[in-house]
Chains A and B, each alone.
Chain A
Amino acid sequence: MNKDPQLCPLRGRDRELAVLSERLAALAGGRGSTVVVTGAPGTGKSRLLLEAERLSRPYGLRVLRVSGEPDAAVMPGEGLLRALLAGPEPVLDAARARALATRPDHRYWLLQEVQEGLERVAARRPVLLLVDDLQWCDDLTMLALRALPGRLAGVAITWLFAGRPGDDNAGYTETRARLEASGATTVRLDRLDDDAAAQMARDVLGDEASLAVLALVGGAGNNPLLISELLSGIRGEGRTDLPARFGTLVGRRLGRLTPDGRAVLEVAAVLSRRIDVPFLGAVLRRPPATLVTPLREAQVEDLVHTDEQDLVFRHDLIREAVRATVPAAVSRAIRREAADLAAEFGHSPAEVAALLTDSAEPGDEEAVATLRRAAAELALGAPSRAADLSRRALALTAEYSPAHRAITVETIRLLWLAGRAAEATALGHTLLVDGIDSATEASARLGLAAASSQYSFAEAVLQCEIAVGSAALPLAGRAQALALMGVNLTMMGDFDRADEVLGRALAAAAAAGDDGARAVGLASSSVSALYHHRWQQAVELADEAVALSRTVRSDQILWGAVQWRSWLDSLGGRPDRALQSAAEGMRTAQHDGQAWLVRQWSLDRCRLLYDAGRLADAQAEAEGVLAMADELGAGNYADCTALTIAARVALHTGDLAAAHRYDAEAERMRTDRAPLVRRAGAWLGVLVAVAHSRSPARIRELLVQGAAAIGSVGPALGTPVDPADDVTFVRIAVAIGEPDWAERAVTVAEKRAAANPGFPFLAATADHARGLLAGDSDRISDAIEIYRQFPRSLPLAAALEDLAATTGEQSRPALEEALSLYESTGAIRDAARVRSALRKVGVRWRGTRSSSRPGDRWSLLTATEAAVVEKVAAGATNRQVATAMFLSPHTVSTHLRHAFSKLDINSRVELARLFAQRT
């Protein structure tokens, strides 16, 4: 009658199973979803996943299994890759996946590859992706698992995660928060109810389940694992007076092993959950053949079982209980020795490091060396884990030694790569800034500068200063450090120092014959020229920098001259030209496989699309690139472009809640170390405050920084400058009763326009600003005439509105034109404002162009959305669409999400059906 509890039906989880059945059936119909199962160890999470798999069989779904391993010794991404490379039709091509591991932007490309693979597989057959022990998945797997469900929304995949409720590691906490934020359903497994617990007892013991047993089961706190352990004990020992404590129960089983079996299992438990038999033999110094008997005993006692080909502890709590019987000092000694053997065994440094992190003692130089090697190896794929290992190496090294300094620098760099900016900066401050004495450290500082320059301009300047200050830095390194320092100084807003540094950079680059550094120096000089109101010179310098950078190998480009050149087009009123270069640049970056450059172009495109008045496209680009923060990090540059534009688009479209959210994020800009970033943050705050009708005092407080900066070199408001912002500034300054500020802004705009006759767009904004301040309709009309030569509808529409406000009766045609411009850009909130002005001059009603027959939701799509949808409906994957349209795949997935919500559908299957009905 007695049965193994493992083979018994699942009890007390009917509600949870109903949720899963419903999701699986929906998945069979093409609609995916995300479910997170949490519960303390032993509540039956893994068992629930097994049930889900059983319930999925009738539908013929493709099932993929990922599971985390507690010993963290795996290579980055291994958890995920093992699942994706398995089976007769693997999701990923093994050779391709291996090739990706060696690329510098490893994480980015791997995620692309995985996303593409899953899309392809799910298009043929819905996918059930089971992830057990999420809390133990490696960094890279975790990264993919938190990013992909959102990016693959609409694809027929159901993500079923199981993990512990605790938050012992940051990556896990973030992953759960992200999954929850993107709409995952959480299923919490609690203790069983009494009926279910009694039912379990009857399942195992049959009718023999006496009252005494039921009382014992009740004492087990109704934890299913403990109950099943208890029942096995009762069955095995034939007595019912067992203690309801897990460790004791496991201890009793251990006691039934022979001394040899017990010793072997204890060492195995100290090493890992998954038992590597040859390695265990090596640690025990005995041939693997002699392990057969003791391991079989453990299997008979059901302490370990086989999982695929491996021997594994049946539950991690069992392993923990066995390990707890070994004194900590002994356990450490075993792991330390195992680390040496692992190296001889050809295990990767990462695996060796995992054994070392908790076993090595301070001063263990060999351990330190291994940890550093492992950190270096993991730097690209799993920088966060690499940084942890490096920190561990640091902790084992004597302070004030040269090695300690070197490891500190390495650790800081890894922290930057991992996007852990605060830790990186804090650790940086523990280093004395003076006294670099080695070429290695100087070069390391240069690497630090390059790593931090996308994230913190101020930090990059500091690191360049330190590198340049060292006599040990070689000439080429000096040229690069100076050039990079110049770039970051211009981004910070310190133009006096930038000019001085750039002079030295160009001289050093010439002396070293380093064209890469020279191109960067020239491009930064162009930035400086622009902000000194010498636009023509800025263009010439940028052209020279572009020509030069074409002769440099693409992986040696430190900063994009080509990008800056395209910015100049847009600032001068020609975002259309800038977008052409961006398309070209994106194509090259995709072709060369340079992820940071793809991201860089994507960041730039946010602003270029906004300047071009393509609000929906700008929004999609911004959301897409903000999502890339997962694999490529966020920072100053992204804040000044993508975050700012996302907020500004929201203001135009009237999504004030979103604008408010982005503005809250922009708080970090307002406290940044770089003045330009602070000002850009404050300016964004002003725009959002105005939209929320905050008090003039509050607006003044935010605007005062920008007002003070007007007339000095460099952008006073957003970064890079937008001449059209000056007009907005004047409007706000007048409204809050600061005419002096407005007057100063107009004077500066006029001076800039006069100094640059070759850039008529500047004259338009100057005329517009002056006309607005003086209530001079002729000046505004002049501005309008010039604006008409440029493809920037939003400033033109604003000027038409301002003209209407000064002309009274004849305002109607201007308002109507403004309305039509706002409608064509998607600026719904501005359009509403103009419509209300039109009503005041007697125009009662005017239909919008988007109101077409009801049910025709297709007309709501923008041109880009329609193009994306058409390709996806025809079966293309996001990446194929991205390649065809010169977009990043993230942007494609954002467009698709927007289109889905407009079409009111949730899955690609529905899209295909809808599309088929339409044509």
Chain B
Amino acid sequence: MNHPKPTVVLVLGAFTDASSFARIVPELLDAGIPVLAPPVSLRSLVRDAAAAATATIPGDRSA
């Protein structure tokens, strides 16, 4: 039964920004699910994909 919990990564699409996640993030956190919402500059597909792929959370001490 002790599967490690999955981490949910939220990546935004065109014409939006991270504010779309305002409601889902607290819910996931309250359910004890690790969440990442890396910043995406929406400049180019390649660049944004690379940014999302390498996203790490500095200073994260998620317990």
Query: Which of A's residues lie within 8 Å of B, judged by CB?
Result: 9, 17-18, 21-22, 24-26, 28-31, 54-55, 57-60, 62-63, 87, 125-126, 913, 916
Contact = CB atoms under 8 A, between A and B. Distances in A.
B2 interface: no
B48 to A, nearest CB: 13
A58 B59 contact: no
A60 B36 contact: yes
Nearest to A916: B43
Contact of A21 (B22, B36, B55, B59): B22
Contacts of A87: 59
A26 B18 contact: yes
Contacts of B25: 21, 24-25, 55, 58
A308 to B, nearest CB: 14
A59 B18 contact: yes
A21 B35 contact: no
Contacts of B43: 916
A21 B57 contact: no
A21 B57 CA distance: 18
B39 A60 contact: yes
Q: Which 6 A-B pairs have the closest CB atoms?
A: A29-B17, A28-B18, A25-B22, A58-B35, A25-B19, A22-B22
Identify the interface centre among B29, B42, B43: most chain A CB within 10 Å of its CB. B29
Contacts, number: 76
B18 A25 contact: yes
A31 B22 CA distance: 13
A913 B18 contact: no
Interface string B20-55: 111101100110000111110011000000000001
Contacts of B10: 58
Given A25-B22, A55-B26, A60 B57 contact: yes
A60 B35 CA distance: 10
A87 B58 CA distance: 11
Given A26-B18, A59-B18, 13 more contacts: A9-B30, A18-B26, A21-B26, A25-B20, A29-B19, A55-B26, A57-B29, A58-B21, A58-B37, A59-B39, A60-B36, A87-B59, A125-B39
A606 B37 CA distance: 46
B63 to A, nearest CB: 10
A156 to B, nearest CB: 10
A59 B17 contact: no
Contacts of B30: 9
A31 B29 CA distance: 22
A33 to B, nearest CB: 11
12 contacts: A26-B17, A26-B22, A28-B17, A29-B39, A55-B29, A58-B25, A58-B36, A60-B39, A60-B55, A60-B58, A62-B58, A87-B59
A55 B43 CA distance: 27
A28 B37 contact: yes
Contacts of B57: 57-58, 60
Nearest to B60: A57
B21 A25 contact: yes
Nearest to A913: B42
Contact of A58 (B19, B29, B42, B56): B29
B18 A29 contact: yes
A913 B41 CA distance: 9
A26 B21 CA distance: 9
A18 B23 CA distance: 8
Contact of A63 (B21, B29, B38, B59): B59
A194 to B, nearest CB: 22
A24 B22 CA distance: 7
Contact of A60 (B22, B29, B60): B60
Nearest to B42: A913
Contacts of A30: 17
Contacts of B56: 60
Nearest to B18: A28
Contacts of B18: 25-26, 28-29, 59
A843 to B, nearest CB: 46
B8 to A, nearest CB: 8
Contacts of B38: 60
Given A59-B39, A60-B58, A62-B59, A54 B19 contact: no
A126 B29 CA distance: 20
Contacts of B23: 18, 21
Contacts of A21: 22-23, 25-26
A21 B58 CA distance: 20
A111 to B, nearest CB: 26
A432 B55 CA distance: 70
A916 B41 CA distance: 12
A49 to B, nearest CB: 15
A386 B22 CA distance: 45
A238 to B, nearest CB: 30
Contacts of A31: 17, 19
B1 to A, nearest CB: 22
